[in-house]
């Protein structure tokens, strides 16, 4: 009698604890090994890009909240900067600093979420996730204090930001930033030298620098592979050129490196926020622009560094109040596209951890 194993199809998702939303992996498995892997996206498609063509530029900002719902601030900022570059709108100095502060806060919140869920995917029973949520909660409280919303902030405006933060915002922010490094050290103690976590993540899901560039990865996934690329340094937008910070890069490009890059970016973000708080001038937080802004005829591709990588906005204006074409370059979608290569011939557990380390947000993938 011959013994053999047969490949079978496993549907991971659209409803599954580790797909971070509604997205589906169609996995052909042989025993515990993945033979083939298809990513099926579109369960959260809301036709954002088409809807955006019917709305004015300012009205489109809420869409960017809902695209990358874990990093609404950077999404807002990306669109605002794109429109400002297209329409040549001046932004007051104070608004630029506020933008930097809020997008770095958002980066901390998003990275905390990403690393927390990664560890949850690795099997820790949510303890690290909830520890990471301490900071995230505080940051979301700050968001709420400033603009009334915690998740879908809709804070950045074309030509500035929506509101000046209230007076009690600044001491709270100072406290948060001061205690953040010690908190991150706590995570380091809990996780970074944890043998189980290292055994699960080191040399797993390795992306070589060449592959990373060929797959046009961006963000921590790219930096984890050792490519020193960060749009905040490479094409400084807003006032990032006045900030003094470093770009962490990993050595091997495995899951652990991507995790560690996010970890050290938390420190860097705290550093940036501190500098911005010291440098922020008094003044208006917004320039007045017409409600229905009509940028000149033309097109623009503008990109900034979101927590997940390069979020780009391609806008075409026909001179009307609404964009003729509105396209989001979603870092999640492009980072995810490498999962096929990474997951093949690996164990299911590794694929899940790799997926977690790519840090996808399905709202952004499907838009």
Partner 1 sequence: MESPGIVLGFYLLAGLTLGSGGLVFLARNLLHSLAFLVISFLSMAGLFLTLSADFIAMAQILIYAGSISVLMVFAVMLTPLASRDNSNSIYVFPALISAGGIASFVAFIAWDTDWSGPGTDFDSTIGTIGQLLLGKYVLAFEIASVLLLFALVGAIMLVHQRDEDSEGTS
Partner 2 sequence: MNLDSPTPMSRQIAEHSTLIERFLGLPKIALLIFVLLIAALGLGNGIIGYLVVAGELDGTWYDIRDLGNVNAALRDAILSSQLNTYIAGALAYLIPAILGATGIVSVVGGWLLIGPWAERRLIAKFQIRQGPNRTGPFGLFQSLADALKLMQKEIVIPTGADRFLYFAPPVAVFIPAILGWAAIPWAPKMSFADMDVGVLFVIAISSLGVLAVFVAGWSSNNHYSLLGAMRTIAMMVSYEIPISLSLLAVVLMTGSTQLSEIVTWQSTHNVWLIVLIPFAALAFLFASTAEINRTPNDIGEAESEIVAGFYTEYSGMKAGLFMAVELGNAILVGALMATFFLGGYTMFGLETWIPGYIILATKIGLVYFLFVWIRGTLPRFRLDQLMGFAWKFLIPVSIILMFIVAIESAIFIRWDVPAAVSLGLFGLINVTGAVIISVVWIRILFKDLDLAAPERPRLVTAVGGLKAAKEIRG
Q: Contact residues for partner 1 (CB under 8 A)?
A: 1-6
3-state secondary structure of 323: strand
Work out how close the CB of 285 gets to partner 2 at its nearest, in angstroms, rounded to a whole number. Answer: 27
CA-nearest of 146, 312, 131, 340 to 235 is 312
Work out how close the CB of 266 gets to partner 1 at its nearest, in angstroms, rounded to a whole number. Answer: 44
203 C-beta neighbours (distance < 10 Å), count: 13
DSSP element (H, E) containing 339:
helix 339-343
**What does DSSP assign to residue 204?**
S
Our CB check for partner 2 shows the closer of 234 and 292 to be: 234
Our CB check for partner 1 shows the closer of 28 and 51 to be: 28
Sign of the torsion angle spanned by Cα atoms 205, 208, 213, 214:
negative
The listed partner (partner 1, partner 2, none) that binds 283, CB under 5 to 8 Å by sort, is none
Our CB check for partner 2 shows the closer of 162 and 266 to be: 266
Work out how close the CB of 30 gets to partner 1 at its nearest, in angstroms, rounded to a whole number. Answer: 13
The listed partner (partner 1, partner 2, none) that binds 2, CB under 5 to 8 Å by sort, is partner 1
Residues in contact with partner 2 by CB under 8 A are: 8-11, 16-18, 29, 31-32, 119-127, 130-131, 134, 137-138, 141, 190, 192-200, 202, 209-210, 213, 223, 225-230, 233-234, 246-251, 256-257, 260-261, 263-264, 347-350, 352, 356
| Cβ-Cβ contacts under 8 Å for 180 (sequence gap 6 or more) | 108, 135, 266, 267, 270
Pair 344, 37: CB distance under 8 Å? yes
- CA-CA distance, 13 to 295, in Å (whole number)? 42
Pair 366, 26: CB distance under 8 Å? no
Our CB check for partner 2 shows the closer of 123 and 284 to be: 123
The listed partner (partner 1, partner 2, none) that binds 208, CB under 5 to 8 Å by sort, is none
The listed partner (partner 2, partner 1, none) that binds 4, CB under 5 to 8 Å by sort, is partner 1
Work out how close the CB of 29 gets to partner 2 at its nearest, in angstroms, rounded to a whole number. Answer: 8
Work out how close the CB of 4 gets to partner 1 at its nearest, in angstroms, rounded to a whole number. Answer: 6
The listed partner (partner 2, partner 1, none) that binds 257, CB under 5 to 8 Å by sort, is partner 2
Work out how close the CB of 36 gets to partner 1 at its nearest, in angstroms, rounded to a whole number. Answer: 16
| Cβ-Cβ contacts under 8 Å for 62 (sequence gap 6 or more) | 152, 154
- CA-CA distance, 335 to 355, in Å (whole number)? 10
């Amino acid at each position: 009698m011959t013994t053999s194993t047969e490949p079978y199809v496993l549907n991971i998702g659209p409803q599954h604890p580790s797909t971070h939303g509604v997205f589906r992996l169609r996995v052909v498995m042989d025993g515990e090994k993945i033979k083939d892997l298809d990513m099926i996206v579109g369960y959260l498609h809301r036709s954002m890009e088409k809807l955006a063509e019917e709305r004015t530029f300012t009205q489109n900002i809420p869409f960017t909240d809902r695209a990358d719902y874990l990093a609404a601030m950077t999404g807002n900022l990306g669109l605002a900067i794109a429109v400002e570059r297209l329409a040549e709108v001046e932004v007051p100095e104070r608004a630029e600093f506020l933008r930097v502060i809020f997008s770095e806060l958002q980066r901390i919140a998003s990275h905390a979420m990403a690393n927390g869920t990664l560890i949850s995917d690795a099997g820790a029973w949510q303890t690290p996730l909830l520890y990471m949520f301490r900071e995230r909660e505080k940051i979301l409280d700050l968001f709420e204090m400033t603009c009334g919303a915690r998740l879908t902030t809709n804070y950045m405006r074309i030509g500035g930001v929506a509101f000046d933060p209230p007076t009690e915002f600044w001491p709270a922010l100072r406290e948060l930033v001061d205690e953040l490094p010690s908190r991150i050290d706590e995570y380091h103690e809990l996780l970074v030298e944890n043998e189980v976590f290292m055994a699960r993540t080191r040399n797993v899901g390795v992306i070589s620098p060449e592959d990373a560039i060929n797959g046009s990865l961006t963000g921590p996934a790219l930096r984890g592979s050792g490519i020193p690329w960060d749009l905040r340094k490479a094409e400084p937008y807003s006032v990032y050129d006045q900030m003094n910070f470093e770009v962490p890069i990993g050595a091997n490009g495995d899951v652990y490196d991507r995790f560690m890059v996010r970890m050290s970016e938390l420190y860097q973000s705290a550093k940036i926020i501190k500098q911005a708080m010291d440098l922020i001038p008094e003044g208006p937080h917004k320039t007045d622009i017409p409600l229905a802004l009509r940028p000149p005829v033309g097109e623009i591709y503008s990109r900034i560094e979101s927590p997940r990588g390069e979020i780009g906005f391609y806008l075409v204006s026909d001179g009307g109040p609404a964009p003729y074409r509105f396209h989001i370059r979603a870092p999640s979608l492009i980072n995810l596209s490498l999962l096929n290569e990474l997951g093949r011939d690996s164990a299911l557990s590794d694929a899940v951890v790799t997926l977690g380390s790519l840090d996808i947000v399905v709202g952004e993938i499907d838009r």
